Structure 1
Amino acid sequence: MSIPGEGLAKGLAVTLKTMTRRSHTQQYPDVAPELPPRSRGVIALSEENCTVCMLCARECPDWCIYIDSHKEEVAVPGAARPRQRNVLDKFDIDFSLCMYCGICIEVCPFDALFWSPEFEYAEYDIRNLLHDKEHLGEWMATVPPPPAHDPNGEPAKEEAAARKAATSGAAGDRSAGPAVRPQRSARPAPTRPTADGPTSAPPAVAGPTSAPPAVDGPTSVPPAVDGPTSAPPAGEEPP
């Protein structure tokens, strides 16, 4: 059987017990929260690193980055003609549209965009969330330095892929082994003729030899004629 007011008494007892304990919550904004080292707050811009390649604006899924620039000629000593370079005129990020995906920071090839852990940039007017390049440059002072190199840490994807390719290539070379030239088949040794066996000379053939047979016709020497020869005999005059 329950006593009337028992639940109320238990609730008050729990309340009185917790009132004397220390609070586990941090009193924000009087106490700044401890953020993880890779927290995503506002995006900072390093203007001197920007080359106006437009990769961040093209890859932004929210289309919240607006860039404008112009080209100018710079005279280079010793060069045949002046060179052209892009000059950044406008770089705005609308944080009212940004979803903090970080694609713009990842695709930047010249390290012009960085994450800042600062998140206290709320505004009463939504139009003030459009930060220009000067405002974005001010956030660079809040960007933490990169962590020190950890020799025992996980290697980068490019380094791991190159190492894997080199290892697989070396393993393939070892499995293939050195190239072996095919061995030629041994020729049979010539047999020496014995005393009773045939010699190396071919057997005599009963047919005609290479010399032509004698014929009954005239030979190459012409027959003697009765007429005068080319030289008259001694003691006689030509007719």
Structure 2
Amino acid sequence: MMAIPGSGLAKGLAVTLRTMTRRSVTAQYPETQPELPPRSRGVIALFEENCTVCMLCARECPDWCIYIDSHKETVPASVPGGRDRSRNVLDRFAIDFSLCMYCGICIEVCPFDALFWSPEFEYAETDILELTHERDKLREWMWTVPAPPALDPGAEEPKEIAAARKTAEKQADAAAAATAAREPAQEQPEGDA
């Protein structure tokens, strides 16, 4: 069956006439905040208490935009005759967001969960040099990080938890069997008397 010449044009004009009289629905950003999806990526936040200054994030960053300075401190032994320990202390942790490409590699490689995605996105500056944010600013963003999503109730248990649960169930069954074996033995002499 052949199409009628000009039917595409007629359909296009019909759509135009329908929408031409409607009001514009463009959201004006500063007055109307956008609805962000949960767990959206905005800026990187630092949970300083978890940072051990292992430098993995700075080494793995493809843009080299993470700057870390630290020093070693000697911690006295906690018990008499023990050995003094040394630990790294974080002096400076800064991220240059003018260089960062928001790939998330630093967050993925952090073994101590010190870096997180924050949904904050309003950190524009008038000078490009002000886009290097120090640890105090990165810590402020930490409190905007949403809680991790709940575990799927239908998901399989991790192997470690499943093994621990089986061991605990076996021990509970063995204890119940031992208790049940002791009870009839204690009741029998009383019944003979």
TM-score by length of 2: 0.68
The equivalent residue for 2:112 is 110
1:134 offset after TM fit, Å? 0.9
What letter matches 1:42 in structure 2?
V
The equivalent residue for 2:138 is 136
Query: Partners in 2 of 1:18 and 1:26 — Cα distance?
Result: 18
1:32 offset after TM fit, Å? 1.0
Unaligned runs of 5+ in 2: 1-12, 163-193
The higher-RCO structure (CA 8 Å, 6+ apart) is 2
Query: Which SS does the other structure have where 2:68 is aligned?
Result: strand
1:122 offset after TM fit, Å? 0.6
The equivalent residue for 2:59 is 58
Alignment of 1:183-198 (within 5 A): none
Unaligned runs of 5+ in 1: 1-9, 164-239
The equivalent residue for 1:81 is 83
Percent of residue pairs identical: 70
Query: Partners in 1 of 2:27 and 2:148 — Cα distance?
Result: 28
Greater helix fraction, Structure 1 or Structure 2:
2
1:23 offset after TM fit, Å? 4.0
Query: Partners in 2 of 1:27 and 1:91 — Cα distance?
Result: 35
Query: Partners in 2 of 1:18 and 1:117 — Cα distance?
Result: 36
* Matched positions, count: 146
The equivalent residue for 1:41 is 42
Query: Which SS does the other structure have where 1:92 is aligned?
Result: strand
1:22 offset after TM fit, Å? 4.7
Alignment of 1:83-232 (within 5 A): 83-153=85-155, 159=158
Query: Partners in 2 of 1:106 and 1:88 — Cα distance?
Result: 20
The equivalent residue for 2:183 is none
Query: Which SS does the other structure have where 2:137 is aligned?
Result: helix
What letter matches 1:65 in structure 2?
I
1:24 offset after TM fit, Å? 3.5
Query: Partners in 2 of 1:52 and 1:77 — Cα distance?
Result: 22
The equivalent residue for 1:205 is none
Query: Partners in 2 of 1:22 and 1:52 — Cα distance?
Result: 55
The equivalent residue for 2:9 is none
TM-score by length of 1: 0.56
Which protein has the larger Cα radius of gyration, Structure 1 or Structure 2? 1
- Which shifted more, 98-107 or 80-89? 80-89
Query: Which SS does the other structure have where 1:144 is aligned?
Result: coil
1:145-175 deviation digits (Å, cap 9, x = unpaired) = 111121125x69xx59xx9xxxxxxxxxxxx
What letter matches 1:77 in structure 2?
S
What letter matches 2:36 in structure 1?
L
Query: Partners in 1 of 2:49 and 2:149 — Cα distance?
Result: 22
Query: Partners in 2 of 1:25 and 1:65 — Cα distance?
Result: 37
The equivalent residue for 2:187 is none
Query: Partners in 2 of 1:102 and 1:24 — Cα distance?
Result: 34
The equivalent residue for 2:168 is none
Root-mean-square deviation over aligned CA pairs: 2.4
